[in-house]
Chain A
Amino acid sequence: MAKLVTPEMEKINKRRMKRKNGKVARSTPMMDAWRRLIRNRTAVLGMAIIIVLLLMAVFAPLIAPYMYDEMDVMNMLKGPSSVHWFGTDNLGRDMFSRCVYGARITLPIAIFTVAVAVLTGGTLGVLCAYFGGQFDMIVMRILDVWGSIPGLMLSIAIVAALGNNMYVLVIGLSVGAVPNMARTFRGAIFTVVDSDYVEASRSIGAGNFSIMFKHLLPNAVGPVILAIVGLLGVEVLCVSTLSFLGVGVQPPTPEWGSLLSTSKEFLNSASYLCTFPGIFIVLSVLGFNLLGDGLRDALDPRLK
């Protein structure tokens, strides 16, 4: 088959060849999107914030000057100082260390929640869009019912019923997020399910599974990635909201929301205790949101 090369494409190809010392750089829509993403300052800022927070979680014992549960009865409710950067709480525990260790609780819960929601909701959505018909109808009706309960409320009910531990928290939160995830995946796949390449791969004998996950999903990846990054920010908020309400992670564990919940009583006398954990929540949500906005511009450059 003859290749159609416009002068414009020729120019782009020449530029690429020059850059890669004679080797033609491969270019896919995804790589173009990546290039646009790393040129986008807000997206890079978002990514940087998230990477710093993740590193903080990984290296918490090296960063935190004290153990998160180390009590110092001589220094209770002391304001921020050079010894205790964020001050100490009512038991004399170093707030900075507690916030740093908090990253080890909040972020993994949020990330695992998103993973579970994407695996279950996403698979449902892909199956619905691909098979359509009765199957789609039934699953969507079930999701309608499921989605009629406000997500956060459903999560709270599940966590309250099944007990407080991280696994239950992840399950409870992801159950609240599944309906939306499934709808997003379904909507994204719907736009590509009638494409010719689906027909083509079916005609050469590709199975349902490989069509769905090798052809459909990669071509509908834009809205899917946006939904996942957006959900990460939302879930950080949900984890801390649940713990703040006393349903999620329980007080001795330094989760950011539960730190806020215990600090609430000291709002009048030691407001710094309420300030710092909140800043960490804001930073992580902000990081995901900035990254999400940058990704949207990179994946859909029409609007930029």
Chain B
Amino acid sequence: MARYIIKRILWILPILIGVITIVFFISALAPGDPAASLLGSTATQEEIDAMHHTLGLDQPLIKRWFDYIVAVFTRFDFGTSYVTRQPVLNDILVYFPVTVKLALAATLMGVVFGIPLGVLSALKQYTWIDSVILVMSVLFISLPNFWLAMMLLKVFAVNLSWVPSFGLDRPAGWILPILCAGLQSMTQNIRITRSSMLEVMRQDYIRTARAKGQKEGKIVTKHMLRNAMIPVATSIGSGLGNQLGGNMALESVFALPGLGNYIVKAITAINTPAMLGGILFVAIVFTLVNLCVDLSYVAIDPRLKTRVTGKKLSKKEMKKMLAEQGAV
């Protein structure tokens, strides 16, 4: 077990170097000269050259790439934003908390409402309750969250004035963003809980439990839920990762000062260091969340634990099993 964890943690380093490399070279392709756009149209060639030098843009690409990796890993230096002239990391630490709060609140909402509804839907399969929950969930999963955000803003902020249309200084300002982001993770949880429950409900051990006269309530909580929750736990984790990296449009509709908004602005302003730093930061968090998910997966499912750590299965069998579970 310890070996597996250490292996996974060491693996983060090459992943991050790879991520830096990919994003660095993509951003190097970006059109436009940041020096020229910073100085404005009146700048002379000398001024632009001087600016290139201060920004380090006169160095060869490979050297810049190497320096960037060294700076990130030795000094946590993500570069300096062209626009704010601040270290990018400072900017990120200002914007990131909003994104984190939104993601956590949405995930919480998804868990609190999504899992019970999913369980209910599976237990009442073929009844109207199941149909209503299913129709609702397929509808919600098809909604672009930024459009939902606009519609809710129109109704609850503009027409009814129940909540402020932007600004987070009042707690009410959080309601709509959390609702929009949370509906998505709720739907995800409903669907996965339902199908996982349906799978578990058909297992032999459930029939055995019934046959020995176990109370129905206990069958649901002890026999079904505990087994059905394994895929749900992974989905919650990866959902959190997606919330952290994918709410850009939502943040833009509500004008939230979040990291997604920061990155989009950096991209449209050709603010390369800010974009690079922002995406890299999200990728780091994304990787760490996924690592935690994978490790917790092993911890939750005792079957997987023996398969990852023990020598009970042949290598081929293990690979096949992991591939089926999507863990590799």
Answer whether A and B are interacting partners. yes
Interface residues of A (CB under 8 A from B): 42, 129, 132, 140-142, 144-146, 148-150, 152-154, 156-158, 160-163, 183, 186-187, 190-191, 194, 233, 237, 240-241, 244-247, 257, 260, 264, 267-268, 271, 274-275, 278, 281-282, 285-286, 289-290, 293, 302-303
**Known A-B contacts A144-B15, A145-B18; A282 and B144 likewise in contact (beta carbons under 8 Å):** yes
State how many residues of chain B have any CB contact under 8 Å with chain A. 56
- Bound complex: CA A264 to CA B328 (Å): 42
Chain B residue contacts of A289, Cβ below 8 A: 138, 141-142
Q: Which of A163, A245, A274 neighbours the largest number of chain B CB atoms within 10 Å of its CB?
A: A245
- Bound complex: CA A150 to CA B198 (Å): 31
Chain B residue contacts of A281, Cβ below 8 A: 144, 147
Is there contact, CB below 8 Å, between B147 and A278? yes
List 3 tightest A-B contacts by C-beta distance, closest first: A150-B245, A145-B18, A278-B147
- Bound complex: CA A194 to CA B16 (Å): 35
Is there contact, CB below 8 Å, between B139 and A149? no
- Pick 15 A–B contacts, CB within 8 A, sort by A: A140-B328, A142-B18, A145-B19, A148-B290, A150-B242, A152-B248, A154-B23, A157-B27, A160-B267, A161-B31, A186-B323, A194-B320, A260-B146, A260-B150, A303-B199
- Bound complex: CA A160 to CA B15 (Å): 23
**Binary A-proximity of B184-212 (CB < 8 A = 1, otherwise 0):** 00000000000100110010000000000
Is there contact, CB below 8 Å, between A264 and B150? yes
Chain A residue with minimal CB distance to B195?
A303
**Known A-B contacts A245-B249, A281-B144; A146 and B198 likewise in contact (beta carbons under 8 Å):** no
- Bound complex: CA A142 to CA B199 (Å): 33
- Bound complex: CA A142 to CA B14 (Å): 10
Interface residues of B (CB under 8 A from A): 11, 14-16, 18-19, 22-23, 26-27, 29-31, 138-139, 141-144, 146-147, 150-151, 153-154, 158, 195, 198-199, 202, 241-242, 244-246, 248-249, 252-253, 263-264, 267-268, 275, 279, 282-283, 286-287, 290, 319-320, 323-324, 326, 328
CB distance from A78 to the nearest CB of B (A): 18
* Partner pick for A237 among B144, B151, B290, CB 8 A cutoff: B144
* Partner pick for B286 among A42, A141, A148, A245, CB 8 A cutoff: A148
Chain B residue contacts of A274, Cβ below 8 A: 147, 150-151, 154
Is there contact, CB below 8 Å, between A247 and B264? yes
Chain A residue contacts of B198, Cβ below 8 A: 303
CB distance from B255 to the nearest CB of A (A): 11
Chain A residue contacts of B150, Cβ below 8 A: 260, 264, 267, 274, 278
Chain A residue contacts of B31, Cβ below 8 A: 161, 163
- Bound complex: CA A246 to CA B265 (Å): 10
CB distance from A151 to the nearest CB of B (A): 8
- Bound complex: CA A221 to CA B17 (Å): 35
